[in-house]
Amino acid sequence: MIRTQSRTSTLIARELKKSYDGFEAVKGVDFEVYRGECYGFLGPNGAGKTTTMKMIYGAVIPTDGELEVAGLDVRRCEREIKRRIGVVPQENNLDDDLKVKENLLVYGRYYDLPRKVALRRAEELLEFVELTERAESPVDQLSGGMKRRLLIARALINDPEIVVLDEPTTGLDPQARHLVWDRLRALAAEGKTLVLTTHYMEEAARLCDRLVIMEGGLIIAQGSPKELIEEHVSPQVLEFRAGPEELERLRPVVEATADAVERTGEALLVFTADADTIMDRVRECGVEVENTVYRHAGLEDVFLRLTGRRLIE
């Protein structure tokens, strides 16, 4: 049995591994999620985060290691775990042949909910995700954002302890994304444990209490968004945009005092704790810069620093 810490743990993994035909998708990861927090998994494509999520909600069985969900071993208690969690998949798998409310009522039957209970839950959840007026609409008439909200409602029909969300806002416009964020924050405020994967750094920073960054089937960093930023990048970022020759002339000037310098496209990213000194040097060196952007370092800077800027298909 895995030993827990003083805080109440609802997910615990130790040396968790998963292989497919000799390919090790997850290579031995450790993490612990506490009740009532939002915990995120970030990583490029193929990092192992989706496989990890599938092990959590029972879609695949671990090859090795330990994994407890809601205090239960995933190998011995698969059915009970599925009754205590809700899953919002990345793909839309709503039943288009049913109306909005019917999707919730049918799903409630899978959990043996009495019809009156399922009906009450469905009405409450449609109000929660702001779809009450669309209760009798066919699913194929919903927008993408409405479908994501209905998937969230469906995942909550059994009043789960843990809600697993795989890319919950992929493909949504900014307004729809923010509405989904509001609903997820409300769930966290109610004490639900949220576990999510996302490619949106802003989403992770806004929602997650703690998170891990995965690459190549391993966890390469973990902590709160603030802790990760403080540990891995300098607090200030200057983005200098100019022609290729100007950037090459500028690079040694800023490298002399910057904490780190990165070239990306037509920009030079300069990480520093003293932006004023860097700017003074740039003005004095005589290199013509087309545009300069000053900003605070963020989670995206951490992600790119740790996983690289190459495109992974």
User: How far, in Å, CA of 36 to CA of 209, rounded?
Assistant: 10
> Domains of the chain (ranges plus CATH)?
9-229 (3.40.50.300), 234-297 (3.30.70.980)
pLDDT at residue 309 in the model:
56
Is the alpha carbon torsion for 246, 247, 249, 253 positive or negative? positive
Nearest CA to 155 out of 108, 101, 97 is that of 108
Which residue type sits at 283? R
User: How far, in Å, CA of 142 to CA of 195, rounded?
Assistant: 26
- The encoded tokens of residue 183 equal 């609903």
- The encoded tokens of residue 260 equal 């780190």
Query: Residue 219 forms beta bridges with which residues?
Result: 214
Question: 3-class secondary structure for 81-126?
Answer: HHHHEEEECCCCCCCCCCEHHHHHHHHHHHCCCCHHHHHHHHHHHH
Q: Over its length of 313 residues, how does the chain's per-residue pLDDT go in tens digits? A: 444 444 799 999 999 999 999 899 999 999 999 999 999 999 998 899 999 999 999 999 999 999 999 999 999 999 999 999 999 998 889 999 999 999 999 999 999 999 999 999 999 999 999 999 999 999 999 999 999 999 999 999 999 999 999 999 988 889 889 999 999 999 999 999 999 999 889 999 999 999 999 999 999 999 999 999 999 999 999 999 999 999 999 999 999 999 999 988 889 999 999 999 999 999 999 899 999 999 999 999 999 999 875 534 3
User: How far, in Å, CA of 114 to CA of 71, rounded?
Assistant: 26
pLDDT at residue 265 in the model:
80
Residue 147 DSSP symbol: H
Angle at 305 between CA 40 and CA 43, to 5 degrees: 30
